[in-house]
Amino acid sequence: MKNLLCFVALLLSLTLPAQAAVMLIYHHVASDTPRVSSVTADELRGHLQHFKDNNFQVIGLDVLIAQLRKGEPVAPNSVVITFDDSYENNFTTAHSILQEFGYPYTIFISPGSIDKGDGPLLNWQQVKQMSDDGVLVANHAMRHEHMARPEAGESQSQWRERMKQSILAAEDKIEQVTGQRHQWLAYPYGEYSRELEQLVTELGFIGIGQQSGAIGNHTVLTRIPRYPAAGQYADLKDLAQKLRTLAFNITDYHGVNPVISANPPQLKLSLKTDDFNRNQLQCFAGSEVLQPQWLDDSTFTVTASKALKRGRSRYNCTAPSLSNKGYFYWYSQPWLN
């Protein structure tokens, strides 16, 4: 990631607005919570001030989803703010700061976890107050469970029914408390699979991940990306780079499944290459630089040189835009081993 950011830093400069959206994911807003998932109140305020000072359009997730569903142009240089995991400090600390700036935002909550009181979480009175104040409240599965694949001893059909009930029960509870029913699912831990995407589609939901990348009119609505804005990524220099990214126009994912069957996995993508030079496309697996192998004018493959570690990892691919100076295309492929 460090090499990737160094490469990206060389590409940045002031430029005209580009037609793309960036969605940010926050968790804790506190100074006494794990740093990897936290921003301080001052850091959050600094992010919001940066949006204001640099004329970014902070829009609600409902506005972005409507644009994507209707095929309307994505508002240029737009930013969507989201919070995951139902933490109480989203209400006690973040809410007033966001209200001060007048910025819309979304919280993704797990109703079953709130019911059990698992940790320093929001209570339903706080959720209702946030909803009444205009905050969008959406689905993070019933109990923040791992959703991408069956558990040991569980059949595919049993897993599918369990996931269906988790998604629908959470949506029903949110509607019961707040009156909101958006049918947006933020995958817990950012984990999803082709089979989960199929279920999400059948249920009429939008699927939102935690892999990085910008959002455009060709973004698949079961794998919408978000950039992390906490921990090491809370620094404004890093954030400013992410805000100037574009979505590749991918025409074929060639059946890529985040739940890998071969290790290391191969990523194969077909995409339109009219706004970047193919020889400037670079991909990364952690600190390893991956050289794309172009099969024709639009299709390439990349594969890491060694097996991925157990758990979650990613390939990131990026290329500078020809038409938007200082902007670069970004695609992140999550893997679950």
Describe the crossing of helices 156-178 and 124-132 by its angle, rounded to 10 degrees. 60
179 conformational bin, left if phi > 0, alpha if psi -120 to 50, beta if neither = left
Model confidence pLDDT, tens digit, residues 315-327: 999 999 999 999 9
Task: Place 117 in a pLDDT band, splitting at 50, 70 and 90.
Answer: confident
Is residue 97 helix, strand or coil?
Answer: helix
Task: Place 11 in a pLDDT band, splitting at 50, 70 and 90.
Answer: very low
Q: How far is CA 301 from the centre of its chain?
A: 23
Are the C-beta atoms of residues 260 and 337 closer than 8 Å to each other? Answer: yes
Whether residue 186 is predicted with pLDDT greater than 70 in this model: the reply is yes
Average of per-residue pLDDT across 31-41:
97
> β-pairing, 206-208 with 299-303?
unpaired
Q: What pLDDT is recorded for position 260?
A: 96
Of the candidates 263, 184, 216, 180, the residue with the CA atom closest to the CA atom of residue 73:
216
Q: What pLDDT is recorded for position 75?
A: 87
Average of per-residue pLDDT across 48-74:
96
Model confidence pLDDT, tens digit, residues 71-103: 999 988 999 999 999 999 999 999 999 999 999
pTM of this prediction exceeds 0.85 = yes
Q: What pLDDT is recorded for position 14?
A: 40
CA distance 179 to 261: 41
Secondary structure E strands in the chain: 21-26, 28-29, 38-39, 57-58, 78-84, 106-109, 136-139, 184-186, 206-208, 227-228, 245-246, 250-252, 266-271, 282-285, 288-290, 293-294, 299-303, 312-320, 328-336
Which is more confidently placed, 260 or 1? 260
Whether residue 215 is predicted with pLDDT greater than 60 in this model: the reply is yes
